[in-house]
Amino acid sequence: MADAIQEAQEFLQEAGIVHDAGELRGYASDASFLTLGTPSLVAFPRDEAECVRLVEFAVRHGMAIVPRATGSSTAGASIAPPGSILVDMERVGACDARGHRRGLFTPQAVDAKGRPVDLAKAGPGEELYVRAGAGRTADEMNRALARHRWVVGVVPSSSYSTFGGNFATNARGNGTPAYGAFGDALNRVRLVTSSKEGARVLEVTDQEEIRRLGGNHGLCGLVTELDVRIAPIPRAEDMLCVILRIESEDPERLGSAIGGLMKRVAASCRYFAGEFLFIDSGVVRPSDPIRKDAVLGVYFDPPAGKRRMVLLYRGTRDGMAALPGIAAEFPDVALREITYPQFQAMMKVRTAATGKSLQRVNVPGCEDFIIYDPARFGQVLVRMFAALEGADGRPVGHHYPDGIVVHYRPQAPLARKAIEDAWALNLRLREAVLREDLTVEDRKEHGLGLALFRDGPKSRHAELRALKARYDPANVFSPHLLDGRAEGAFVGTRFMF
Amino acid sequence: MSFEPAVAAFCCNWCGYSAADQAGAAKLEYPAGVRIVRLQCTGMVDPYFVLRAFERGYDGVLVVGCHFGSCHYKSGNHQAREQLDRVAPMLQALGIGQQRLLMTAASAAEGPVFAAKATEFVELVKRLGPSPLREVAR
Amino acid sequence: MSSAAPALAAVGDALDPALRILTTEGCVQCNKCTFNCPVHRVDVTFSPRKVILQAYLGGGDAVSERDLWACLTCGECQAVCPTEVPYPAFIRAKREQLRPVMDRAAPCKHGGFKEVVARIQARPGLKPDRRAWIGEGLKVADKGEVVYFTGCLPYLDGIFSYCDSASIGRAAIRLMNAAGIVPVVANAERCCGHDSLWNGDTETYRKLAGANAAWIRKTGAKRLVTTCAECYSMLKHEYPKVTGDLGVEVLHFSELLEELVASGKVKLTKPVDLQVTYQDPCRLGRHAKEYDAPRAVLKAIPGVKFVEMDRIRENSMCCGVGAYSTCDAQTKFMQQERLEEAASKAETLVTACPHCRIHFSCYIDGRPVDPLPALKIVDLTVLAAQALE
């Protein structure tokens, strides 16, 4: 196997594809903290042509390729078993002629037919996409789009994940209420797939097929370019951002208020983003400057004995006209209009709150569940808080049109016993909350590959196998994910610690 | 006991060093504190060499190259002259003193010139006294 | 919590416990730092996120020489980090810890001169002449209300002769004299120690800081002003940690100048007809959070048309070199990127730090890696002085 890696290294050298070799500890895992061993080779192709050469090599030599982006996946799909080539897609479509990532770039906008559009002249009503390399992130793209007052339509909480990665997991997030999941918000996908002889380049424009490919976990090929839906940033007069504070000593009352509010909002409002987080005294550090912010500071110190949730909505004034009136009907709810930068500042806190520090692993299994009937939220919260008594971390979530999605990530120090305890906590939480009568279902948006695949619907297994057969007949892309080698597990059970 | 200056002498291979060599062979006297460092050309002398010599406690730095017009590499000694003209005010600003740096010339056959200039420079440095950086020489 | 203790220690015992916690508990491995890092853009294997992960997993000495010394300490990573992990401070602490065991003579990439000059000035017994560069017609004093901390200006031109950095100091004194201020320029002044501190030579830094604090306090001055962003961030934000309160108000020259112009003590009346853009120095901007005073000064100079770049203020891109120790094969590409951006806005780039000016000038004076429109690099103080009648 060392020879195979050696050969691969020589090939990359000769082909002029940037790569790194050695003890690549940083690549041994992704956000799942699962590991299949420390890889010894990672390639950084910069465009489709280099991807084609890589795939050709892999097919000819029977080597596996594992695509990877920022490694923010908790599904474990971007970690490479020994002997495979880890392909970091970060540079694809994100580099200048010299192969350096361009920090300052001009986004290429296209219309629904793929024709180039001048963003400076585009009107807010147009259906527009940005033609982006798979290695770009929403963060970078938003920075580049900001001067034209557009944003990426669907941005997961990890706005640092790449477009390729978002497509691989069919991510949902900010913007989903308007545009759906990531796979729903694409117009065109280019990928380098395999054939029995070598590489194939495919361009997919059929919406249904794109939807099917969403959530492919890198099984089908190296996605190189996508046309990603963008949304206009409404003018300040048209844009409305609000922050709602909902608190109570009684979790049932709290949940009922939130659920009731959300039910009414879903019925009478249109919005781009509905995001919430529970706030306790530990959500930001004591020294964090946001505590001193004149407007936002007050949200960070909940009174003793009360549970507090902060809910953020962003949309147009028109679309959310009914919201203040709705909020006024709930005594536990306080609504305040904020500016877009203030909205972004709170979202930054939410991102950090969902994040995983190095010392801790997020142990999923109950990473996210969805409550279809908001009226049940009070009962769900009671059971949730009871199960979480004494635990670290705090739930965050989204208000989507189809229901309330809650993420809770028990945080465990990186030690076997601690992870097992966190897993046990998860199971208690699942038992308490995942009930049909509460209309709660396990969403599995994130989840360790273990849970995502093994415990996921069998129909999804079948779908993925069918996709693989069509797109990757040579079975070079992450073959280990579907070959059942780890006893029904998706990626294995070994953690990095 | 009077003070014996330590002087770093950067000499170019073709002229300065050969001159020093000749002086040695002819047993011409020049002070023992002169430590010779051979370079291919004085054009190689970097401000860092000068500064580092002073940091290490040398009381003076002498640069001996070819006469202008005779540089083996055509213009290396001109480059050295320009560099050292810029370094001298630095030494003044830092408080080391620009008189502790001298550039001169001695061709390969001028052993006696080398000996004389080295001796003269050491006398000058003696009059200036020990370098303010001397106490902590490493 | 038996597993927590070894993990903390793994990042390096030399690190301050608070720093260890901030790095290990703060980092959520989101990669925003890396995507904003200017070095990463030109070298994809350089990644702050990876360094933290590897240091955590592999123990304290796992930071490679490249990772340790290619970092500009510019702070772009920290500015976008959702949990504000202080990555530059982490690198600084690692340099201090690892420098003694590394196979490296001098971090200073410019032949080592800057480091030697700092060490020389840390020695007692020197009698510098720090006024010779000033020249005729300008008034300075031994005692007074305002100290002008000159930094490297007395000797920088010895190395970077094509930059005439001394003109910055002369312009500053001229402006102060015009406002009726005769600043104190002290021979007792020593290097501020910026490079020593940032390159891990804390011993030299402490000596320099101590020496400077002593003479500053003796002047009895109320204010201290400097034209250098690095000296400014050191004297204002770093010195108090090791020397205690200096007893003076520390100002960057742009702050003083803004005040003098606003109060009418200095009149900028001669038109300077230039279209300019402005480079926020890392040490003045992200490190010290001063973005407004230089802009106010630019707006007060008659005839100047000021056009902002796209990446400004906390998003400003570094001039490409940090503490003179990071210049390498990749630096030119970063400088090309930033100067292209500047040249797309104006023909003159204004800086507020002599080192930004030197690094950019070095690039332009050397061999740009790609075509670059004509661009002049001008110091803010020099530009303002041109508007004095």
The predicted model gives B16-39 an average pLDDT of: 94
Based on the number of CB atoms within 10 Å of its own CB, is A199 exposed (0-12), middle (13-18) or buried (19 or more)?
A: buried
For residue range C17-57, what is the model confidence (pLDDT) as tens digits? 666 766 666 777 888 899 999 999 999 989 999 888 877 66
The correct answer on CATH 1.20.1050 for the domain covering C113-260 is yes
Tell me how far apart the alpha carbons of residues A324 and A336 are, in angstroms, rounded to a whole number: 9
Is B94 domain-assigned? yes
Strand partners, A88: A68
Q: Flag whether B2 is in a domain.
A: no
Torsion of CA C260, C264, C268, C270, to 10 degrees: -160
- Looking up tokens 């194939």 gives A200
- Between the two ends of chain A, the Cα-to-Cα distance in Å is 25
Of C119, C127, C159, the CB nearest to B47: C159
As a whole number of angstroms, the distance between CA A412 and CA A44 comes to: 33
The CATH number assigned to the domain holding B21 equals: 3.40.50
Query: Does residue A139 sit at the C interface (CB-CB below 8 Å)?
Result: yes
Q: Report the residue from A103, A285, A413 with minimal CB separation from C1.
A: A413
Tell me the one-letter amino acid at A74: T
Question: Is residue C366 pLDDT above 80, yes or no?
Answer: yes
Q: A-chain residues within 8 Å CB-CB of C40?
A: 101
C1 contacts in chain A (CB < 8 Å): 413
pLDDT at C2 over 60: no
Q: Quick one: pLDDT band at residue C12, thresholds 50, 70, 90?
A: very low
Q: Which residues of C touch A341 (CB under 8 A)?
A: none
Q: What is the pLDDT of residue A38?
A: 86
Closest chain C C-alpha to A94 CA, distance in angstroms: 10
Q: Look at chain B and report how many structural domains it folds into.
A: 1
Domain(s) labelled CATH 1.10.1060 in chain C stretch across 4-101
Tell me whether residue B67 is in a domain: yes
Q: Taking CB atoms and an 8 Å limit, are C41 and A158 in contact across chains? A: no
Interface test with C, best of B83, B94, B101, B131 (most C CBs within 10 A): B94
Q: Which chains touch C (3 or more CB pairs under 8 A)?
A: A, B
Kindly report, residue by residue over B86-131, the tens digit of the pLDDT.
999 999 999 999 999 999 999 999 999 999 999 999 999 999 999 9
With an 8 Å Cβ cutoff, are C333 and A100 in contact?
yes
What is the CATH class of C266-386?
alpha beta
Using a threshold of 3 CB pairs under 8 A, tell whether chains A and C touch: yes
Q: Is residue B136 part of a domain?
A: no
Which chain C residues touch A90 with a CB distance below 8 Å?
A: 44
Q: Which residues of C touch B89 (CB under 8 A)?
A: 132-133, 155, 157-158
Please name the residue of chain C whose CA is at the shortest distance from the CA of residue B47: C113
Provide the chain C residues 99-138 that lie in CB contact (below 8 A) with chain B: 111-113, 116-117, 119-121, 123, 125-130, 132-133
Residues of chain C with CATH 1.20.1050: 113-260
Q: Contacts of residue C24 in chain A, CB cutoff 8 Å?
A: 357-359
Residues A25, C341: C-beta atoms closer than 8 Å: no
Nearest CA in chain C to A101: C41
Q: How far is CA A117 from CA A114, A123, A368, C12, C349, in A?
A: 9, 11, 38, 52, 33
Nearest CA in chain A to C36: A103
Residue-level pLDDT at C6: 30
Mean pLDDT of chain C: 90
Question: What is the Cα–Cα distance from C231 to C224, expressed in whole angstroms?
Answer: 11
Contacts of A285 in chain C (CB under 8 A): 83
Q: Is the pLDDT of residue C239 over 90?
A: yes
Assess contact for A91 and A18: CB atoms under 8 A. Answer: yes
Q: How many beta carbons lie within 10 A of that of residue C330, not counting itself?
A: 18
Q: Do the domain assignments include residue B1?
A: no
pTM to 2 decimal places: 0.87
C28 closest CB neighbour out of A102, A285, A357 = A357
Q: Which residues pair with A411 in a beta bridge?
A: A362
- Exposure string (b/e) for C138-161, b if CB count within 10 Å is 16 or more? bebbeebebbbbbbbbbbbbbbbe
Helix, strand or coil, per DSSP, at residue A208: helix
Distance of CA B65 to the CA centre of its chain: 9
Q: Does the CB of A357 have a partner CB in chain C at under 8 Å?
A: yes
Please tell me the distance in Å from C25's CA to the nearest CA on chain B.
43
| Cβ-nearest to C126 among B48, B89, B94 | B94
Distance CA C119, CA C122 (A): 5
Tell me, yes or no, if A121 comes closer than 8 A to chain C by beta carbon.
no
Rounded Cα distance between A29 and A495, Å, is 9
Q: Which residue of B has its CA nearest to C154?
A: B93
A399 strand-pairing partners: A404
Whether residues C32 and A147 touch (CB distance < 8 A) is answered with: no
Q: Is C128 close to B94, i.e. CB distance below 8 A?
A: yes
Q: Which of C158, C110, C37 is nearest to C359 (CA)?
A: C110
Residue of A nearest to C51 (CA): A26
Within an 8 Å CB–CB cutoff, is residue B52 touching chain C?
Answer: yes
List chain A residues with pLDDT less than 50: 365, 487
Q: What is the interface pTM, i.e. ipTM, of the complex?
A: 0.92
Q: Please tell me the distance from the alpha carbon of residue B47 to that of residue B83, in angstroms, as a whole number.
A: 7
3-state secondary structure C103-149: CCCCCCCCCCHHHHHHHHHCCCCCCCCCCCCCCCCCCCECCCCEEEE
In a domain, B135, yes or no: no
Answer whether B1 touches C (CB < 8 Å): no
Diameter of chain B measured on Cα atoms: 45
Among the partner-chain residues C125, C130, C161, the one whose CB lies closest to the CB of B135 is: C125
User: Per CATH, the architecture of C4-101 is what?
Assistant: Orthogonal Bundle (1.10)
Q: Check C158 against B55: CB less than 8 A apart.
A: no
Q: How confident is the model at residue B138 (pLDDT cuts 50, 70, 90)?
A: very low
pLDDT confidence of residue C1: 29
How confident is the model over C160-209, as pLDDT tens digits?
Answer: 999 999 999 999 999 999 999 999 999 999 999 999 999 999 999 999 99
Q: In the Cβ-directed half-sphere of A458, how many Cα atoms lie within 13 Å?
A: 0
Query: How much is the pLDDT for C103?
Result: 63
* Residue span of the structural domain in which B83 resides: 7-128
Beta-carbon separation of B132 and C128 below 8 A: no
- Closest listed residue to residue A313, CA positions, set A275, A345, A266: A275
Place of tokens 């796992």: C62
| Interface contact C3-A415, CB threshold 8 A | yes
Q: C64 or B4: whose pLDDT is higher?
A: B4
In terms of C-beta density within 10 A (0-12 exposed, 13-18 middle, 19 or more buried), how is residue A97 classed? exposed
**Which of A44, A139, A352 lies closest to C44 in CB terms?**
A44
Residues of B in contact with C123 (CB under 8 A): 132-133, 136
The shortest C-alpha distance from C140 to chain B (Å) reads 16
Give the 3-state secondary structure of residue C38.
Answer: helix
Partner C contacted by B86 (CB < 8 A): yes
Residue B49 within a domain: yes
String of DSSP letters for A347-389: HHHHHHHH---TTEEE--SSSEEEES-GGGHHHHHHHHHHHTT
pLDDT greater than 50 at residue C10: no
In a domain, B134, yes or no: no
The Cα of C302 is separated from the nearest Cα of chain A by a number of Å equal to 29
Query: Cβ contact (<8 Å) for C123 and B87?
Result: no
- Using an 8 Å Cβ cutoff, are C286 and C74 in contact? yes
Selected residue of C109, C115, C123, C201 to mutate for chain B interface (largest B Cβ count, 10 A): C123
Closest chain C C-alpha to B72 CA, distance in angstroms: 24
Band (pLDDT 50/70/90 cuts) for residue C288 is very high
